[in-house]
Structure 1
Amino acid sequence: MQSIALLRLLHLASPSLPVGAYTYSQGLEAAIEMEMVKDEASARAWIAESLAVVADFEAPILWRLLQGFSTGDLAVVTRWTERFIAARDTIEFRAETIQMGYSLGKLVMDLKIADESLLGLMTNQPEIPLPTAFACAAEALAVPHEAALLGYLFSMIENQVLVCVKSVPLGQVLGQRLLLSLHSEIEAAAHGAQRLEDDELSNWAPGLSLLSMQHEVQYSRVYRS
């Protein structure tokens, strides 16, 4: 991987990217409220199981979107954008990906890093979820697909760890130890996402869906999901 591509990936996966990721917990705040996550061990188990769900659905969709943007295939981009949005099964999860996708898509346009063909593929979508905007940005920055997928998964897991550091709470050292321990799972998720066939994709996680619905009416909330 060339140095410039690595720098661009680090930029794209940075927690300082202004897309609002820090305002979401992806169901984790509800799990903490229910005391399902209360220490380092339970936090690791939760994040690893959440990653397994992402590896079976969101990650392989991102992989397909990266390929769609690379080949300029509007039908592929539209198909997987629509399917991903349709699979968001709670108000919060849908709002999360649309808001972050809108913010990243706007950033891509404001920075003028994408050519007209890439922008056309993205802006042709009535709504832009995060995987679609990320795939467009990665292609515009010439980040290799495998690296882009790893960066996407790492930034997602890093955000989950930061939620645990602040809300369980875990200390900074425990948080870094937790993140380090998940590297092999992130790598396995990325590799698995590249091999799944279309009919093998699944976002079946009823427990997570129920927690998300409970979070919508949770009395005290710091995060938006």
Structure 2
Amino acid sequence: MTAMADTVALVRLMTWLSPAFPVGAFSYSGGLEQAVADGDVGDAQTLRGWLLCLLAHGTLWNDAVLLAAAHRAFDDAERLAEIAALAGALSGSAERHLETMLQGGAFLAAAASWPHPVLDALGEAAAYPVAVGAVSAAHGIGAEAALAAFLHAVASNLVSVAIRCGVIGQKNAVSVLAGLEEEIIALAAAAAGSTLDDDLGSATIRADIASLRHETLPTRLFRS
């Protein structure tokens, strides 16, 4: 029974964080499009560096900490609401807020195909990592597995953004993702044991500014 339960959890996690799951991730770049326009990201090496900074010190690290907190609080509606409010307030720009809230809302709407009381606790909208963390916990998916899958999915989407911006091709895209594998696994483990009080915070000022400046980028493919 344990093996079967683990397999069910794995399949659900793969479904929820696959490119086919209707959260609209392809519409957002998290400011990466602006970084490409500014020349900060122009090849596989600079893309990898940009993603590593986001994972270790930026928005993706904060998202991981928030996901872990929501995972722990999935059966505590009051605490979950506090975490969801914090996640929304931490958005560094209007576009970043739009990105996380709309993806979270879309995730919850699609996750309704797997009914659970946690969906009522979250309501119609919550920041994307909060939604993923709480729903994963509710369905018996471990925090570390959920974190690794979430971070990989977001990184994969940003690599796809770079492809569509003409920065890299498919071959280099695979190489970048392969090069992030160890870091994603390590960060998932670290975030699983994180706390909001001690571990929340970012230091990627240039990425935050890129997200803000993207709001006035004259020609763009993405909503953030």
TM-score, normalised relative to structure 2? 0.91
| Aligned match for 2:30, one of 17, 21, 26 | 26
Q: Distance in 1 between matches of 2:177 and 2:192?
A: 23
Is the deviation greater in 131-140 or in 3-12? 131-140
> Which residue of structure 1 lines up, in the alignment, with residue 168 of structure 2?
170
Q: Which residue of 2 aligns with 1:42?
A: 46
1:3 aligned partner: 7
1:64 corresponds to which residue?
A: 69
Residue 204 of structure 1 and its aligned partner are, at CA, apart by 3.7
Q: Distance in 2 between matches of 1:59 and 1:208?
A: 17
Tell me the percent identity.
28
Assess if the C-alpha contact under 8 Å between 1:138 and 1:148 holds in 2: yes
Residue in structure 2 matching 1:51, options 49, 55, 58: 55
Q: Is the 8 A contact 1:55 1:193 kept in 2?
A: no
Q: In the alignment, which residue of structure 2 is the partner of 1:148?
A: 146
* Corresponding residue SS for 1:57: helix
Q: Deviation per CA, 1:102-158: give whole Å up to 9, x if none.
A: 11111122x1x132x3122111x7x41112221233234332221111111110000
Q: Tell whether the 8 Å contact from 2:72 to 2:137 is kept in structure 1 after alignment.
A: no
CA–CA distance in 2 between the matches of 1:105 and 1:152?
Answer: 15
1:120 aligned residue: 120
Q: Partner of 2:88 in structure 1?
A: 85
Q: Does structure 1 residue 217 correspond to structure 2 residue 221?
A: no
Q: Post-superposition shift, 1:208?
A: 1.6
Larger CA deviation: 200-209 vs 92-101: 200-209
State the one-letter code of the partner of 1:202: G
CA RMSD of aligned residues (A): 1.6
Gaps of 5+ in 1: none
Please give the alpha-carbon distance, in whole angstroms, between the structure 2 residues aligned to 1:37 and 1:55: 17
Distance 1:19 1:106 in 2: 9
Residues in 1 aligned to 2:187 and 2:178: alpha-carbon distance in whole angstroms: 15
User: In structure 2, what residue type is equivalent to 1:114?
Assistant: P
Q: What SS does the corresponding residue of 1:152 show, helix, strand or coil?
A: helix
Where do 4+ consecutive residues of structure 1 move more than 3 Å?
none
**Aligned equivalents of 1:41, 1:218: Cα separation in 2:** 24
Select which of 102, 105, 108 maps to 1:99.
Answer: 102
Asked if the contact 1:24/1:223 (under 8 Å) is kept, the reply is yes
Once the two structures are superposed, residues 4-59 of structure 1 have per-residue CA deviations (whole angstroms, 9 ceiling, x without a partner) of 22211111110111110001011100000001101111111111111112454210
1:199 Cα deviation after fit: 3.0
How many aligned residue pairs are there? 218
